[in-house]
Structure 1
Amino acid sequence: MTRNAMLRVVTTTLVSGLLAFMPLTTPAQALDDGGLPSLGSTAGGISAGEEFRMGRAWLRQFRAQTQTWQDPIARHYVESLISRLLPYSHVGDLNWTVTLVDSRLLNAFAVPGGVIGVNEGLFAFAPSEDAFASVLAHELGHLAQNHYARRMERVEETQLPTMAAMLAGMVLAAGGAGNAGVAAMFGTQAAFIQDQLAYSRRFEQEADRVGLQAMTDAGFDPQAMPAMFRAMQRLTSLQGGNPPEFLLTHPVTQSRISDTQARADQLASPKSPDDGTAYAMIRARALLDQNADDPAQAMTQLRQDDAPPTAMRYLEALTDASRNRTDAALSALDRLADQQPDLTLIPASAAEIALDAGRRDDALARAERILRLMPDYYPAQLIRVRILLQRAPEQAFQELRDMSRDHAEDPQVFDLLAEAAGHSDHKTWGLLARAEELQLTGHIDRAIRQLDVAEDNAKQEGDFGMASRIQERRKAYLGYRETLQQF
């Protein structure tokens, strides 16, 4: 067997089905006293809480070794799609969070702790919202079927070590050490290869079936799923037999495509399909980010896939902004917003462009118009607090404290909170927020040292209540470090 062939077999065997895990009941974003996000119980054993901790530890390691795609508008869009699918996906009370990955590779994944990841490359590959949603529905199908729990029943005696080593290998591979990551996974579970390969294929078929029904019930076209599988197979042929990353973890066979097609044919397509404008606009953002040096490539791909004309005008506006033609960009976006008043991403994009161009008054006015209609629209909230940081740091601090409760898994919020606290005479909070940002990005030792500084500062200021809460937080961090050391 060639090295590449072995890589495909091992990766498919060990990762397929293990990228998607059972629903969790541990509160993902519950808050401790003092408004601090909880890291979960430190109790031993493979409980839902331990699974939650392991998955969120994986996310922090993942952030430490990969680049995330920092696009609040795109992330909000993905979250809205997942929210649309969830009621029909039978995942129970899933505590989930989304991370976007700055990678051209075609991939999406789910890991314990309700972490759902999407590579920027998936936007480039999926030509429509239905196609994109089919991948998300498939991932939620894994969660609904409890595939992680069912797989672990077969290796119960090595459950925790296997999980830790598997996730460690995934982190290594994601960080660019592909062969080392595969070797780590291979060394952990070599004895299970043949057995697990057939098992994972069954899991993939189950996830397809659940995902197909969920996307149909949510109003998406089920025909998009088999079409995506066929497109992935064609991509494999064009790449000389090297499958995209998604197919290494979710192998597609002809029988699987046939089964998915037969089932899709029995399901109804939406009577009034969405015109796909919102998705095409988000896709334009991803394509422009990937082709920043040659925006014409982004436009070419949109045209090839028959994107709505409105989305192409949106891309033209973003391109103008990237070339410092701010007035032209804002004028075009304002016209588009009048034509598409239900697409909040258009005025949010304008506010973002105005802020990036240094037009803070204009950006603030635009963001506040959005927030009057949608108070919880995260992209506009971020724009507003970034401006308030310069003008009214105390107000920014208070608003960011509220945001940190709603977005306890977002390192950017804690980064801004640390800055706001520093500018508004809340030194202890600034130190604490920086510790949170460090632990969220996988730098747990530095985070613990930062907590020690925060505790000393709280005591010097006579705030022994805060010092006590920080001591409790430190215990959580130490437990978290123990979890991280299993990777």
Structure 2
Amino acid sequence: MLRNLRSGLAAGPLIAALALLPAQVAATEDYGLPSLAGASQAASDEEYRLGRAWLRQFRAQAPLWQDPFAQEYVESLVARLTPHSALTDMRTVVTLVESRTLNAFAVPGGVVGLNAGLFAFAEEEDAAASVVAHELGHLSQRHYARGMERAEQTQLPAMAAMLAGMLIAASGAGNAGIAAAMGSQAALLQDQLTYSRRFEQEADRIGLQAMTQAGFDPQAMVRMFRAMQRQVSLQGGNPPEFLLTHPLTESRLSDIASRASQLEAAKSEREAPTYHLIRARALLALHERTPQQAVTRLAQGEAPDTARRYLDALIAAEGGNIDQALSELDRLADALPDLAILPASAAEAAFQAGRYDEAIQRSRRLLRLMPGHVPTRLILGEALLQRDPDEAYRVLRELTESRPEHPQAFALLAEAAGRSGREAWGHLARAEQLQLSGEIDRAVRQLDVASDVAERDGDRSAASRIETRREDFIDYRETMEKF
């Protein structure tokens, strides 16, 4: 697996508190079908700025699941659902958390987060899609802002205070952070009590429509929520993290079932096993020290044989049996030539085993067929660092230009720039990686170093870019100071 840059801090309290605060208190009345008035209103630029600043702080404090294959899959899932989710602002960004708790969350500004535990729990792709569709429903209806709309002038300050409290929780303050977030909105709580149930039903409705129109089975949302409800019973009333922020009453579940029954299940061809392959990776990440538990968990569901063989190959590679792993991955790739994850995983395994030339060869072969495959471009860039830093810089520079929110790619670019004699650009790339990871003060200092180097070397192109980014960084810092 590619170099992991994540923080080791626990995120449990944060993820338990995240999503949209109005959903934390369940009303007892059944409000029926909510109105979608105002659904077309896009998130304000300030909400967008707050959300992206929050994401940078989150990256600095949460245990991120930096799996490029899972990242690409979730991004494609969000892209598939977004056009049907009534979102007028399509600028979404995905973050993944290495936590075994079942949870997903949405933050104003288009931030969508998923725990690895969601993949462990959901045994079918449509069930996982139902959770993502529900979160996109919250975003499209701007539930967070609408929950505070009566506060008018205090809406955005309260939002910043709420998000700041969540970051306190992520940094280890636990319940104190949640209390701070709740306390920041005490004056607004009564309105939230009124809106919370309406918001959940609204997100359910939008989510059901979106997943059906995107080709997923709407009954999967019913199955997913019933499975969560059963877990509550089995665990003595201790609900999954997701239900702490999205309370599930029997009347709400009945409403979901009723609406799903009125929608026609998508008629699709045989499901590709991609979801199950990503689920295998999630289980292995969660049971890294005891991989046999990942095997057992995968076998308990209805995962196809392809996923089981894939997991066995990943475990063989991590155990040093690289020839066995590559042979199995190649057989799977021959049987399923349309799945880029299989040959890309073989390139990844070769790189991890120190077979850099083979990793480069395998990556380039795949990229000739699928030039935009981000996980393979990352593998190629990192492998080239060991053989041809100048070419690595070119590959990674192109990647960061197309993926400007990718901290891992910038970290590799900084290394490639340094090794290929592009010192000023290397410091600039490191500054980009730092600001994306929430270390904005260090990022600004890194820009100072980059500027000095560019001046020393007479690199006017780098100097111009550095000054442009300095203005952006100062703007980021002003927004982040609200936390």
Q: Deviations over 1:448-472 (max 9, x none)?
A: 1111111111111223453343233
Code of the residue aligned with 2:303 in structure 1: it is A
**CA distance in structure 2 between the aligned counterparts of 1:232 and 1:90, rounded to whole angstroms:** 26
Classify 1:335/1:465 alpha carbon distance in 2 versus 1 (closer, same or farther; 3 Å). closer
**CA distance in structure 1 between the aligned counterparts of 2:56 and 2:203, rounded to whole angstroms:** 26
**CA distance in structure 2 between the aligned counterparts of 1:456 and 1:380, rounded to whole angstroms:** 35
Match status 1:83 vs 2:79? yes
* Structure 1 residue aligned with 2:241: 245
Report SS of the residue matched to 1:251: coil
Among 293, 296, 308, the residue aligned to 1:297 = 293
* Structure 1 residue aligned with 2:21: 14
Match status 1:342 vs 2:338? yes
* Structure 1 residue aligned with 2:10: none
Among 184, 191, 195, the residue aligned to 1:188 = 184
**CA distance in structure 2 between the aligned counterparts of 1:342 and 1:449, rounded to whole angstroms:** 45
Match status 1:443 vs 2:439? yes
* Structure 1 residue aligned with 2:9: none
* Structure 2 residue aligned with 1:111: 107
* Structure 1 residue aligned with 2:162: 166
* Structure 2 residue aligned with 1:365: 361
* Deviation for aligned residue 1:358: 1.0
Identity %: 61
Q: How many residues align?
A: 458
Classify 1:466/1:351 alpha carbon distance in 2 versus 1 (closer, same or farther; 3 Å). closer
**CA distance in structure 2 between the aligned counterparts of 1:196 and 1:142, rounded to whole angstroms:** 14
* Deviation for aligned residue 1:197: 2.5
Code of the residue aligned with 1:14 in structure 2: it is L
Could you tell me which runs of 5 or more consecutive residues in structure 2 were left unpaired when the two chains were aligned.
1-13, 26-37
Classify 1:276/1:170 alpha carbon distance in 2 versus 1 (closer, same or farther; 3 Å). farther
Code of the residue aligned with 2:294 in structure 1: it is A
* Structure 1 residue aligned with 2:258: 262
* Structure 2 residue aligned with 1:68: 64
Classify 1:424/1:223 alpha carbon distance in 2 versus 1 (closer, same or farther; 3 Å). same
Among 469, 480, 483, the residue aligned to 2:476 = 480
**CA distance in structure 2 between the aligned counterparts of 1:276 and 1:466, rounded to whole angstroms:** 45
Code of the residue aligned with 2:441 in structure 1: it is D
* Structure 2 residue aligned with 1:311: 307
* Structure 1 residue aligned with 2:5: none
Classify 1:456/1:398 alpha carbon distance in 2 versus 1 (closer, same or farther; 3 Å). same
**CA distance in structure 1 between the aligned counterparts of 2:470 and 2:68, rounded to whole angstroms:** 30
Classify 1:270/1:431 alpha carbon distance in 2 versus 1 (closer, same or farther; 3 Å). same
Match status 1:452 vs 2:448? yes
Q: Deviations over 1:173-218 (max 9, x none)?
A: 2344320111111221123223302312211111111110111111
Report SS of the residue matched to 2:458: coil
Classify 1:24/1:483 alpha carbon distance in 2 versus 1 (closer, same or farther; 3 Å). farther
8 Å CA contact 1:85–1:215 kept in 2: the answer is: yes
**CA distance in structure 1 between the aligned counterparts of 2:192 and 2:116, rounded to whole angstroms:** 29
* Structure 2 residue aligned with 1:135: 131
**CA distance in structure 2 between the aligned counterparts of 1:23 and 1:119, rounded to whole angstroms:** 29
Classify 1:140/1:309 alpha carbon distance in 2 versus 1 (closer, same or farther; 3 Å). same
Report SS of the residue matched to 1:381: helix
Code of the residue aligned with 1:99 in structure 2: it is T
* Structure 1 residue aligned with 2:97: 101
Among 118, 121, 128, the residue aligned to 1:125 = 121
8 Å CA contact 2:65–2:96 kept in 1: the answer is: yes
Larger CA deviation: 235-244 vs 407-416: 235-244
**CA distance in structure 2 between the aligned counterparts of 1:322 and 1:128, rounded to whole angstroms:** 26
Larger CA deviation: 390-399 vs 410-419: 390-399
Code of the residue aligned with 1:157 in structure 2: it is Q
**CA distance in structure 1 between the aligned counterparts of 2:366 and 2:257, rounded to whole angstroms:** 42
Classify 1:176/1:201 alpha carbon distance in 2 versus 1 (closer, same or farther; 3 Å). farther
Q: CA RMSD in A?
A: 2.3
* Structure 1 residue aligned with 2:407: 411
Report SS of the residue matched to 1:391: coil
**CA distance in structure 2 between the aligned counterparts of 1:310 and 1:158, rounded to whole angstroms:** 53
Per the normalisation by structure 1, the TM-score is 0.89
Larger CA deviation: 58-67 vs 240-249: 240-249
* Structure 2 residue aligned with 1:37: none
